[in-house]
Structure 1
Amino acid sequence: MEQPNAVKLVEICRVAPKSSRQDLLSLPLTYFDSLWLRFSPVQRLYFYEFTPPSPADSILAYLKTSLSLTLDHFLPLAGNLTWPQDSARPILSYVQGDTVTLTVAESDADNFNHLSSNSVFVQTKAYHPLVPQLQSSHERAAAIAFQITLFPGRGFAIGTAMHHAILDGKTSNSFVKSWAHACSKLVESGLSVGSDISLPEPLYDRTCIHDPTELGLESFYLNEWLKMDGPNNRSLKLWELKPPPDDSVRSIFEFTRAQIQTLRQMVVEKLSDPVHVHLSSFSLVCAYTWVCLVKAQEVDAGKTSLQGFTVDCRSRLDPPVPQNYFGNCIRGVMVSAEAKELLGEDGLVVAVTAISEAILGLDKNGILNGAEEVYISKIRDFFQVEGLYSVAGSHRFEIYDTNFGWGMPKKVEVVSIDRTGAYSVSDSKSGGGGIEVGVVLKKHYMEAFASLFAQGFQKH
């Protein structure tokens, strides 16, 4: 029987950038950022095992010191998001003395192995005490927050909360990996607090982002926010989404490289012109997951099923945006398919084709084509709607390479998907080109999903 996750607060720390340099004080949001202005934060959880056991005080000292060093290279993240009356756009500003909240907690329950295992169903609410809340009000919002939860004699977990209007997946992953790199160097060589650790510098130049559309995406998105619950509503209070049902559970499912190749072969055999279909690992994994979800949740065959995912625009813009650009540079893509077709014998082919057409259409019609059709006032209503699925994360982030000095993570979860109805995608802990998918469902649906997931490969 799973033990309750009894977590007690140890301390709340305020971590400041090491040198508090002031060569960069504020960043205006771009249209890529403003689209996500009040979206709930992305919360991720990294589990690390003690091998061998390490003193908790030593671990906390390394993590706090390296966080301070890393913030020196990502100074705006120690600041706050505001929307001054005299500013047309929200601004991320750092003022000397600003800090990042780091919560330290300890678990009384002997459930580390259960929570960090990929082979079990975990109660959705079990992870909630392990991730931090991101502070926000109508006037301001924090950029990031962290929590370290110690499991004495077992390991620890690092919980992160990232403001989506400030960081996309690539930027947030870059920050966490920089923090991990700095920490691992401290652990490896025992560098003093004043030692300088070389870290990659993010690019803050907002002139990299051009709006090639004639509609003015920046004004379009900001006006949408201003008139929501308005008029002239400059609130920065983050949306509070409906919590998951009490009977929901979460689990991670792995696609090995061989299984992905099996999916590719299954699709190729049924396509008359496979050359013109985008059969990437991402497309195949998302298509298979989509079909299994529709079947497991017994979506009405008469409905249209939707799947949304984001695409990195850095290399697709003209001119291209450097990969180390700080901020959002992604756009959402929505694909649709009739549920009855996804439920049919060729459901996988239908799903892959729909996803493929959406991705290839971006290159053909322009990466921002149709971006003006995203009405923020309608987005909130889409969350947790039957037949709608979205994707969080990417296997290209290689999150299992996030080593703070005590080895690779035992498990990584995107906790926030339990409120958005998304499923997460990441690289596999096992490596070898595999991909992990994290799913949150009511328990009876999860049992059906697990069965369908396994059966699809047993037939081939």
Structure 2
Amino acid sequence: MNVLEVCRVPPPPEAAPSAAASETSLPLTFFDLVWLRLRPVERLFFYELPNPPSFFFHSVLPKLKYSLSLTLHHFFPLSGNIKWPRHCRKPFIHYISGDGVSLTVAESNADFNILSSSDFSDAEESRLLVPDLIVSDDEASIVALQITLFPNAGFSIGITTHHAAMDGKSSTLFMKSWAYICSKLDESSSDSSLPGNLMPFFDRSVMKDSSGVAEIFSNHWSKQGEPNNRSLKWWDIKSTNQGKPIRGTFELVPSNIQKLKQIAESKLNKKVHLSTFSVTCAYMLNCLVKAEQTKQDKFLFIFAVDCRSRLDPPIPPTYFGSCVGGAKAVAETNTLLGNDGFIAALEAISDALKRFEDGGLSGAEKWMAEIQSLGKTHRFFSTAGSPRFEVYGIDFGWGRPKKVEIVSIGKTGAFSLSESRNGSGGIEIGLVLNRPEMEAFTALFHEGLASGS
């Protein structure tokens, strides 16, 4: 990996919103503060471009940079930082005129075709293609970007985001907006306007917190490690992937999903909503627990539920920030190790979803304490991403992505979900495991689909 340039890209001064002309602060809501010290999300987009490097440096890179600046006109808080001064009870987002997003430009001699395929690859190779956020006790950057050229093959765009500033829906909104503006640029136009469905909504006043949950969460974080520990540094979570883990990509095609739903309907003793998401996650949990032969007596599966439409009143779908609740599915591990492990996992997920039918915010003040307590005794699983984000539609003007992956699952131990890249209506799943567990998982994943059990 050869780093060619590291720069900061600010919003264009002449186009800066009046509210951001000098200095702007945004509060962090309780939805944001849940993620304050959890590791950032790293996503990677691969784009095929078999042109010579000269085309990339003369035509592609300048257009990406300029359109990024124009996009930050609409997303100017992303150029700022999360701050937590010692005299403040809660952290907040702070932007001053002149702030910019960190952009790294690099060149790699790795095999683009292998990295952008579904074949197994060294997880560390993808890690080199995403940038780090700059984090200290009292300040943390919000987003960082890296554009990497693979000469005569393609390029990648890596984005690292602070989850306390944005959830997956918001970060995808930013990428879609950047791609939209970039694809519309030509030599005679620098139009930075966005359609309504891509315009971010930053007004935090729509987020009601009559119970003071945000302050409860801030206090929780300030007590981690030592009293009054107002730090923004990442909370240390040891990954289960030790040694040299590998990355794999799996797919459930529509016929697989339909088969799983039919199996569930024939075996469930109660009526549950059989969504593509629920059967996919249940099947993944069943295979994972069997592949690693989980030793803990119970497992905890946390998955995000978008609460924008669940709040009373609902907030705009383009609300920019974190607005996801954590649904908790808990069950005995031995139920997943048995013949009906898929059904046991599905029932646990269904029960977790039912608790969100009333909006999912009851008992929100206990979220962090409950998850931390359960995490000490249960085998922890989680997801990243969503098929609803439609990441394979993010086209900057040189074609749709050849592959999109979430790199950070290598640190968090989650499995990622997106829509299938071929537009078939299936689900693409990303996974990082040590080789023995990956080989066991692969066998279980394919055997289960073939046998229909």
Aligned equivalents of 1:108, 1:252: Cα separation in 2 = 22
Q: Which runs of 5+ in 1 are unaligned?
A: 1-6
Residue 203 of structure 2 aligns with an amino acid whose one-letter code is D
Q: 1:381 to 1:262 in 2, by over 3 A?
A: closer
CA distance in 2, matches of 1:231, 1:369: 28
Which secondary structure state, in structure 1, belongs to the residue aligned with residue 98 of structure 2? coil
Q: Runs of 5+ in structure 2 lacking a partner? A: none
Q: Which of the residues 368, 387, 401 maps onto 1:375?
A: 368
Of 374, 380, 390 in structure 2, the residue corresponding to residue 398 of structure 1 is: 390
Match of 1:4 in 2: none
Secondary structure (helix, strand or coil) at the match of 2:128 reads helix
1:218-238 deviations in Å (ceiling 9; x for gaps)? 121011112223322222223
Give the Å deviation of 1:322.
Answer: 1.0
Q: Residues 376 and 180 from structure 1, CA distance in 2 versus in 1: closer, same or farther, beyond 3 angstroms?
A: farther
Measured in 2, the distance between the counterparts of 1:377 and 1:13 equals 41
Quick one: percent identity of the two aligned structures? 47
Structure 1 residue 35, shift from structure 2 partner: 1.3
The separation in 2 between residues aligned to 1:446 and 1:347, in whole angstroms, is: 19
Measured after TM superposition, the shift of residue 177 of structure 1 is 0.8
1:376 Cα deviation after fit: 5.5
Deviation at 1:153, TM superposition (A): 0.2
TM-score by length of 2: 0.93
Q: Deviations over 1:207-251 (max 9, x none)?
A: 111136x4x311210111122233222222233544642331111
Alignment check: 8 A CA contact 1:76 1:94 kept: yes
Alignment of 1:36-435 (within 5 A): 36-51=35-50, 55-57=55-57, 58-109=59-110, 111-118=111-118, 120-186=119-185, 189-192=186-189, 194-199=190-195, 200-211=198-209, 214=211, 216-239=212-235, 241-242=237-238, 244-273=241-270, 276-300=271-295, 303-364=297-358, 366-375=359-368, 379=372, 382=375, 387-435=379-427
The one-letter amino acid paired with 1:293 is: L
Q: Secondary structure at the match of 1:196?
A: coil
Matching residue's letter, 2:380: L
Matched-pair contact (CA < 8 Å) for 1:228–1:377:
no
Q: Within 2, Cα distance between the matches of 1:105 and 1:347? A: 45
CA gap 1:433/1:372 in 2 versus in 1, 3 angstroms: same
Larger deviation: 336-345 or 441-450?
336-345
Distance 1:264 1:53, change over 3 A: farther
Residue 452 (structure 1) shift: 0.7
Partner Cα separation in structure 2 for residue 272 and residue 245 of structure 1: 40
SS of the residue corresponding to residue 357 of structure 2 reads helix
Number of positions where the alignment pairs a residue of Structure 1 with one of Structure 2: 442
Q: Deviations over 1:140-173 (max 9, x none)?
A: 1111000011000000011110001000111111
Match for 1:284: what amino acid?
V
Contact persistence 1:34–1:218 (CA under 8 A): yes
Shift of 1:85: 4.0
Q: Residues 35 and 376 of structure 1 are in contact (CA less than 8 Å); yes or no, is this contact kept in structure 2?
A: no
Cα contact 2:51–2:153 (8 A) shared by 1: no
When residues 169 and 114 of structure 1 are mapped into structure 2, their CA distance, relative to the original with a 3 A threshold, is: same
Tell whether the 8 Å contact from 2:71 to 2:192 is kept in structure 1 after alignment: no
| Per-residue deviation, 1:195 | 3.5
